[in-house]
Amino acid sequence: METSKLRNKFIFFIVFAGIITLLLILFHFVEAPIKDYLTDFFGATDRRMGDTATVLFEHLFRILKIVLWMSLIVSIVRFVNHLVFSTALQRSNSYEISSLLRNVFSIIIYIVSFFVIFNSQYPNVDLAALFTTSTILGVIIGLALQDTLGNLFSGLAIQADQPFQIGDVISIPTKGEGVVEQVSWRGVQIRTFQNRLIVISNSVLGKEVVEVAPRDNLNARLVFFNTLYANSPTRTIQAVREVVRQIENVSQKIRPAVRVINLGDSGIEYEVKYWLEDYSKYNETDALIRQRIWYAFQRERIEFAYPTRTLHIETKPQENVFVETSSEIYERLSNVPIFAPLSDEETRKLADGSNLRVFAPGEAIVRQGQKGDSMFVVHRGAVDVQIKEAEATKNLRKLREGDFFGEMGLLTGEPRTATVLTDGETEILEINSLCLKPILEENPELVESLSRIVEERRQSFDKPEDKTMPTEIKDKASIFNSIKKFFGLAD
């Protein structure tokens, strides 16, 4: 396609230049005979008329020659321009050479050629002096070219500065946004995302604040969305980040960031920050991201928030999304070894009295040294048990679904022996002393089995490197007494 275009241009140029050359050669030969003929023809009647006709003819001929020579020069310059700038250089360099530079080159060649040709026809006329000395001409040209020259010089400044290249996306307030297609001596041409062309003159552009998204740069975009308060931010962020990463044109070099930017009136507000391979396609990519978020939300049962005005007439505490049926909690508790001695009914009572809580990733559920009267069972997710030793933090164990912790605090009232942090979003069952006390009061023999289990666990923990238990309750008997004391149970 490109080669056939070039061939056509070449043929056109050869034919055009050939015709002009032929005309110039023809002029060379016919000039003298025509002049003689005119002198004879008009001179036959009046000699002065013959002279005038010859002079007029001479001027006409000279002007015609200037025009023909200039046409030849223009056609050569245009052809060379095309050959050098648009074809050869464009191939070697991925950027198209700005047409402004091409035009400046061409104009210089035209002016120089015009001077040379004019001088060859009128050697006695000093064209340069004519231009420089004629103030009136200068003023007229100056006024006429005021805007044009302004544009030209702003264009040259833009060229020197190179704040943007062809192919970059630029956005100019009040003018528009689009991909730079051409930088000419008059202005910059951009193609908007509606496929319209906008030409902004260089002088206007020089005064505006131009936002540039360079073509060979990773440019970021922000997409916003809201979810209901009932939906967990961790799950939402995970789901959105996963789908955004897979979208075409989203750069793999930098991970998209999804974050909570506000807790708004109608929901949790998020922003997705992602980087584009090709910024000029950001409209399509933004749209695809929104579409994929919708599908991800459908799968994950996350709901978009929209401005609503809700009248709540509540007769019971509002249901929490994380509250499971008590039978599921019962199921979980009956598989926890520490509660194995409890009867079905007691386990059910315990399930009814316990609370299911959700924690964010990295959140502390209990802190070492703090007092607490609850114990916990991991329902979904995992936690890390850590202790602080001389300013350093040491990871002791990871506890998973069905594991329990915090039993020392609950059963003895001692300060927490370790800090327990979530590893990812985690759901935890919390059982407090108020809930356990009536069960222990009804079954004093339970204290015995509980202290055995705590002691067994303590033994398993009690390695030289992780001695976290309080020194005064090192054996089963002391644990037993401590439990009884703490719950106020009779001997």
By CB under 6 A, name the one of 342, 385, 435, 473 that touches ligand CMP: 385
- Residue 417 touching ligand CMP (CB under 6 A): yes
Q: Confirm or reject binding of residue 396 to ligand CMP (CB under 6 A).
A: yes
**CB 280: neighbour CB atoms within 10 A?**
18
Q: How far is CA 195 from CA 68, 182, 213, 360, 397, in A?
A: 41, 15, 18, 47, 61
CA distance 195 to 210: 20
* Closer Cβ to ligand CMP, 154 or 374, answer by number: 374
Task: Assess 326 for contact with ligand CMP (CB under 6 A).
Answer: no
Query: In whole angstroms, what is the distance from residue 480 CA to residue 449 CA?
Result: 9
Give yes or no for residue 420 binding ligand CMP (CB under 6 A): yes
Question: Does 416 participate in binding ligand CMP (rule CB under 6 A)?
Answer: yes
CB 82 within 8 A of CB 27: no
Q: Which stretch binds ligand CMP (CB under 6 A): 2-10, 77-85, 257-265, 399-407?
A: 399-407
Q: Which residues pair with 431 in a beta bridge?
A: 375
Strands of 392-400's sheet in order across:
364-366, 419-422, 382-389, 392-400
DSSP secondary structure code for residue 372 in this structure: -
- C-beta of 282 vs 480, nearer to ligand CMP: 480
**Is residue 403 a contact residue for ligand CMP (CB under 6 A)?**
no
Does residue 407 belong to the site contacting ligand CMP (CB under 6 A)? yes
Distance CA 457, CA 316 (A): 40
Residue 405 C-beta: closest distance to ligand CMP, Å:
3
Binding to ligand CMP by CB under 6 A, coded x per residue (else -) over 335-374, reads: -------------------------------x--------
Q: Which stretch binds ligand CMP (CB under 6 A): 34-42, 89-97, 250-258, 416-424?
A: 416-424
CB atoms within 10 A of CB 22: 10
Alpha-carbon distance of 400 to 408, in angstroms, equals 18
CA distance 49 to 46: 5
Confirm if 239 and 304 have CB atoms less than 8 A apart: no
Q: Using the rule CB under 6 A, is 449 a contact of ligand CMP?
A: no
Among 108-116, 206-214, 307-315, 414-422, the segment contacting ligand CMP (CB under 6 A)? 414-422
* 461 near ligand CMP, judged by CB under 6 A: yes
Is residue 319 exposed (0-12), middle (13-18) or buried (19+ Cβ within 10 Å)? exposed
Helix extents (H) in 44-145? 47-81, 90-92, 99-121, 127-133, 135-144
| In the complex, least distance from residue 416 CB atom to ligand CMP, rounded to whole angstroms | 4
Residue from 466, 474, 476, 481 touching ligand CMP (CB under 6 A): that is: 466
* C-beta of 178 vs 406, nearer to ligand CMP: 406
78 binds ligand CMP (CB under 6 A): no
Number of residues that bind ligand CMP (CB under 6 A): 16
Minimum distance of ligand CMP from residue 393's CB (angstroms): 13
- Report the residue from 87, 433, 449, 468 that binds ligand CMP according to the rule CB under 6 A: 468
The binding site for ligand CMP (CB under 6 A) comprises 366, 385, 396-397, 405-409, 416-418, 420, 461, 466, 468
